[in-house]
Chain A
């Protein structure tokens, strides 16, 4: 078993690294693999350096971070709600983060294009928005404790409400900002720079470590509230703490990548199929799957209609939706 895990993780890492390498050589600006190799070791022209280090690399690193963040967030939510359909997109947490950011742009900024230094505030705002959404879901679902089913149903309702609010504010924007907001809400990581990476990296890093520390608790929570209580877990308190972690991860990811759906849903599923349901292993594997999934999707989004780009969220949905249906049909 131990051997199988090591192998699966190694294979996933190889997938990620090879996609990373291939992705470095693809784009509108033509660079052969040899040129990329030279540029990587400081022997390229200034143009090549700019494309590789300032345009392509930050974007790929961001894809890895956001993919991993969403996947882990989804894994937590699925364990907490004991519902395999839960993910930050369906539960309205992404919509909450999205709404907060659209409000932030609407009230404090001229347009999304010139955010400047306040980029560092974006994860904060996204987190607050996601937290408000999670708080609403949790309190409305509360009835002498929160049952997983109520959590999911209320989440779907909150999601619809936030989406409606989003549309109201979007309609009041000028056409340019409206376009930007729409593309951003579909989920896209183009035009990302090291600034974004640095803005969300600390969040994701700390939160993921905290989540891993709680892996055992998640194992127990997945058994059900009654069993958890009898095993000595203070259920509501733990649920709240883990919910905040999930919200933080989703918020930071949404701040950088927009409301990308399906990754939080599909990545934990794949991880469970690969290594089983124990969270100490499953969560890192889900993170790797999510990272690979988004990195791969963005490579396609960047190149399939070149020189135009399509929002990566669309590619993710195009790959994720059929897989999800397949999962449903297989288990039903």
Chain B
């Protein structure tokens, strides 16, 4: 029986040796790095001067806005879900799993990785990603603030000026559309609804398309939206049948992910008392569109939708 021990310790010794060997090797080639930045997680990141192969999952919107195209794009299950509203700019860009498996990342051969938060680095430790390419984690205040995200991505890419100009241009455009809407809509109430799997969700006032409608365009939120507590975390809140029946919106933007025709939906009793149905002002918008997202590109598309439906532009 004693004969067994040598085997056992033999294995363990091999393990120890392999781990010792593996430790010191494989540094990523430190190229001509231009600036060292401290990212949102406190890491010192050597950001290359003009990165050419960027991975920025779920930050494709600010990236495109600043004129850069990523080498891969965010997706779930090989593209069964992805940011379809950016499809025009991202055609032919391969998908990468949202968990960012290390080997998929290295396969994409990036020279800069930017992620919205540490939790996005689901396939490994920060250090392992940083060995592939400099990895920058955005600060946490960018989570629900696309302007802050755009500015920070701009800083990383050395495009602060472009980011600032884009935001100015955005505000100007918003002002213009707001004026036009004011005369048409006045104090009529507005809501954005999302129908998915037979359940209605209503947008929170300061995220996704909510922030476009109520903060930027200064429209009047319908009762169900005004009732959402300010600190609610969900972007879309489930709307009970009763709350739907009492909705006082004069304009409804419906994101219909269920494929049922909205005309058929409108015949349901629950819709009968909603002013928007009476006034024929329920507008169906593209379920693959921008209404579930925030960002310069997303918001511009949402504003275009609003203008097209209300002002008939």
Contact = CB atoms under 8 A, between A and B. Distances in A.
Interface in A295-318: 307-309
Interface string A182-197: 0000000011111101
B206 interface: no
Contacts of A237: none
Interface string B110-124: 000000011111111
A312 B157 CA distance: 38
Interface residues of A, number: 54
B144 to A, nearest CB: 13
B19 A198 contact: yes
Nearest to B107: A29
A118 interface: no
Interface residues of B, number: 50
Contacts of B128: 54-55, 191, 193
Contacts of B28: 46, 50
A308 B22 contact: no
Contacts of A176: 117, 119
Contact of B99 (A61, A111, A280, A308): A308
Interface string B1-38: 11111011101100110110111011111000000000
Given A113-B122, A113-B126, A287 B26 contact: no
Given A50-B28, A53-B22, A194-B23, A180 B106 contact: no
A51 interface: yes
A58 interface: yes
Contacts of B27: 46
Contacts of B101: 28, 190, 307-309
A252 B9 CA distance: 19
B5 to A, nearest CB: 7
Given A111-B118, A114-B41, A281-B4, A51 B22 contact: no
B77 interface: yes
Nearest to B16: A201
A9 interface: yes
Contacts of B124: 55, 190-193
B282 to A, nearest CB: 30
A61 B18 contact: yes
Given A57-B18, A194-B19, A110 B104 contact: no
A331 interface: no
Nearest to A213: B5
Chain A residues touching B, majority SS = helix
Contacts of B102: 51, 55, 191
Contact of B4 (A55, A192, A284): A284
Contacts of A61: 15, 18-19
A198 B17 CA distance: 11
A193 B119 contact: no
A144 interface: no
B132 interface: yes
Given A55-B103, A55-B124, A190-B123, A197 B26 contact: no
Contacts of A114: 41, 118, 126
Contacts of B16: 201, 205
Nearest to B96: A307
19 contacts: A54-B26, A55-B103, A55-B106, A58-B22, A64-B11, A110-B118, A113-B121, A114-B118, A176-B119, A180-B119, A193-B125, A193-B127, A194-B23, A205-B16, A208-B8, A209-B9, A212-B5, A307-B101, A308-B97
Task: Across the A-B interface, give the 10 residue pairs with the lowest CB-CB distance, nearest first.
Answer: A191-B124, A28-B103, A176-B119, A280-B1, A49-B26, A113-B118, A29-B103, A50-B26, A307-B104, A114-B118
Given A53-B26, A193-B124, 14 more contacts: A29-B103, A50-B28, A50-B106, A50-B132, A53-B25, A57-B22, A64-B11, A111-B119, A198-B19, A212-B4, A215-B1, A280-B2, A308-B77, A308-B78
Interface of A: 2, 5-6, 9, 13, 27-30, 46-47, 49-51, 53-55, 57-58, 61, 64-65, 110-114, 174, 176-177, 180, 190-195, 197-198, 201, 205, 208-209, 212, 215, 278, 280-281, 284, 287-288, 307-309
